[in-house]
């Protein structure tokens, strides 16, 4: 074991000497803010109840962060702390250790949210949560200190470059036809998957493809449904309830219905499941909101005084 990894385990052991059931429980909850299930619920709520375009930008950031993190992990193949010291492991974790995806994507999500919304209090809240999520990974024995630091650095680099990359992509795609957009939405993620094929990357690229397809079709045919009814709490509640229930039926229901891991066609159907889930978020749910009249009240033009 290298001196760096050995020192990292020493840090974990030092931190864990202050363990108690309450603190264990707190950090197990905190670390859930970096899990797939958290993003699966949080990002749709931003789409449906806060700002649709903010949801698009955050989703692109989160999925891009996931993809790069998984690619770097599999290139470096650093073992996790509990591979050397099983007694430090407090929760289940798969895959390699460097860099920490929780730390990287947690920073991208929370500080990206603060940056895009331009809310001062979100910078403080988001920064605090980023620190907590990173520390939780060390405390729970699933990452070295260096993994978390590298995750923060990579997340910050991605966040700082996001605006420039976004402008370039928008300029390149602005003049393209609907047909070409749909081709890009299907072929682009598949090329990323071909570069780095793995179970986890299938989820990311499928979600990227589904989000893109749904967004393109929604903008073309039901643009009004993407807007958020500000302050209309009944409509926001209906959106949250209906959208989340159907999303869970798709994501969990298809998981139960489709072939299980290790069986034939599992990876193919995993791609389909994640693709359909994000098509629902960006297209299916907005369409349903339109049908339910859970869209913003449209202003009625006054005819008073007209002849």
Half-sphere exposure of 71 (CA within 13 A, CB side): 14
Residues of the chain short of pLDDT 50, as ranges, are 300-307
pLDDT for the residue 304? 45
Nearest to 62, CA basis, from 214, 253, 208, 236: 208
Alpha helices in 36-175 (DSSP H): 36-49, 52-76, 81-84, 101-117, 120-139, 145-173
pLDDT for the residue 277? 95
For the record, the structure tokens of 178 come out as: 């609907």
Q: Which residue has the tokens 């993407």?
A: 226
What is the Cα–Cα distance from 78 to 145, expressed in whole angstroms? 13
pLDDT for the residue 287? 93
Considering only the C-alpha atoms of the chain, give the largest distance between any 2 of them, rounded to a whole number of Å. 86
pTM: 0.88
| pLDDT tens track for 225-235 | 888 888 889 99
> What's the Cα-to-Cα distance from 197 to each of 10, 160, 170, 203, rounded to whole Å?
34, 27, 27, 11
DSSP state of 143: S
What is the Cα–Cα distance from 187 to 302, expressed in whole angstroms? 48
Sign of CA dihedral 27, 129, 51, 206: negative
> What's the Cα-to-Cα distance from 241 to each of 20, 45, 256, rounded to whole Å?
37, 10, 22
What is the Cα–Cα distance from 69 to 55, expressed in whole angstroms? 21
Region at 191 (left for phi over 0; alpha for psi -120 to 50; beta for the rest): alpha
Answer for the pair 240, 233: CB distance below 8 angstroms, yes or no. no
pLDDT for the residue 112? 92
């Amino acid at each position: 074991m290298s001196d760096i990894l050995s020192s990292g385990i020493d840090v974990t052991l030092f931190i864990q000497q202050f363990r108690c059931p309450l603190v264990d429980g707190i950090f197990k909850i905190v670390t859930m803010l970096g899990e797939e299930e958290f993003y699966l619920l949080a990002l749709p709520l931003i789409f449906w109840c806060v700002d649709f375009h903010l949801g698009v930008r955050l989703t692109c950031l989160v999925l891009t962060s996931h993809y790069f993190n998984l690619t770097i992990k599999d290139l470096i193949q650093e073992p996790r702390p509990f591979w050397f010291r099983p007694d430090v492991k407090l929760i289940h974790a798969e895959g390699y250790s460097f860099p920490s995806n929780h730390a990287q994507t947690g920073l991208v999500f929370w500080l990206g949210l603060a940056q895009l919304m331009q809310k001062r209090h979100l910078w403080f809240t988001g920064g605090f949560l980023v620190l907590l999520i990173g520390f939780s990974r060390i405390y729970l024995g699933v990452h070295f200190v260096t993994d978390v630091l590298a995750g923060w650095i990579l997340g910050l680099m991605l966040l700082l470059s996001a605006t420039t990359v976004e402008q370039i992509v928008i300029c390149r795609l602005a003049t393209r036809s609907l047909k070409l957009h749909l081709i890009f939405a299907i072929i682009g993620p598949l090329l990323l998957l071909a570069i780095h094929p793995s179970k986890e990357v299938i989820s990311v690229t499928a979600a990227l493809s589904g989000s893109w397809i749904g967004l393109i079709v929604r903008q073309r045919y039901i643009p009004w449904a993407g807007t958020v009814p500000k302050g209309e709490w009944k409509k926001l509640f209906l959106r949250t309830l209906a959208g989340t229930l159907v999303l869970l039926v798709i994501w969990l229901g298809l998981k139960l219905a489709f072939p299980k891991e290790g069986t034939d066609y599992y990876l193919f159907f995993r791609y389909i499941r994640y693709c359909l889930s994000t098509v629902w978020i960006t297209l299916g749910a907005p369409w349903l909101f339109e049908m339910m009249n859970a869209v913003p009240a449209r202003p009625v033009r006054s005819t008073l005084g007209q002849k």
